[in-house]
Amino acid sequence: MTARAPIKQADLNRLAAVAKRNNITIEVEAEGYTIRLHPNSAAQPETVDLKPEEFTSLAEWQAWRERERAREARGKAPAPQRDSAWDIPWEDIPQEPIQPPLNWRERKAMDYLMAHGPEVRVDWYALKDYGSHTQKKLEERGFVEASSETDRYGHPDQIWLTSAGVKAMRDQRAHRDKYPCL
């Protein structure tokens, strides 16, 4: 006795029609098998380009002439406009204003505090992915300050952005705007 097919022929035909109509690849997994349907998998290969001497009819020559004109038109397309800020060599780009660069936790905390503004006190627990190590690093840079009151876990009650932190983040953003390739 033969095993039942993982997918019926009618389902395959419907999926192939959808793939062709929407020009997408469809992938179906059934009983451990993966079936991919590509919209152009049954397309005829392109005809081999003949030389003008080998044509046997006027229709072949006209088709060849149209293909050649299309190739020439593609080759003469105007070059896209480029932004000169993207064409700066790496060695000509100055270092970022904040050195050493902020890690992702420091950057996330600074962005959050920048949204609230300088000297605005924020609850320590409002900052996500922010721990005592990140706080220590930012305090050493002079970018944030923390309140002296602590909770039972030793975390400060509030934290805020200093004016030095605001200036550093504004300089960093201006540098990124000037050199968008970073």
CATH of the domain at 110: 1.10.10.10
Q: What pLDDT sits at residue 46?
A: 52
The reply to whether 98 falls in a domain is: no
Report if residue 79 sits inside a domain: no
Determine the residue type at 78: P
Domain assignment of residue 88, yes or no:
no
Q: Give the E-state strand segments of the chain in sequence order.
A: 26-30, 33-37, 122-123, 144-146, 158-161
For residue 71, tell me if it sits in a domain.
no
**Residue-number span of the structural domain to which 131 is assigned:** 104-178
Residues 6+ apart with CB under 8 A from 172: 96, 97, 98
Give the span between the Cα atoms of 118 and 165, in whole angstroms.
8
Q: What span, in angstroms and rounded, lies between the C-alpha atoms of 144 and 162?
A: 5
Annotate 92-117 with b (16+ C-beta within 10 A) or e (fewer): eeeeebbeeebeebbebbbebbeeee
Say whether pTM exceeds 0.85: no
Is residue 26 one of the residues assigned to a domain? yes
Q: Are 31 and 4 in contact (CB under 8 A)?
A: no
Task: Kindly state whether residue 127 falls inside one of the protein's structural domains.
Answer: yes
Q: Please report the pLDDT score of residue 63 as a whole number.
A: 83
The pLDDT of 63-77, averaged and rounded, is: 77
- 85 within some domain: no
49 vs 110 pLDDT, higher one = 110
23-47, pLDDT tens digit by residue? 888 888 887 878 888 877 655 545 5
Domain total of the chain: 2
d(CA 123, CA 31): 53
Higher-confidence position of 35 and 104? 104
Residue 87 lies in a domain: no
Predicted confidence at residue 79, as pLDDT, reads 60
Question: Is pLDDT larger for residue 168 or for residue 58?
Answer: 168
The pLDDT score that the predictor gives to residue 12 is 84
Dmax over CA atoms of the chain, in Å, equals 94
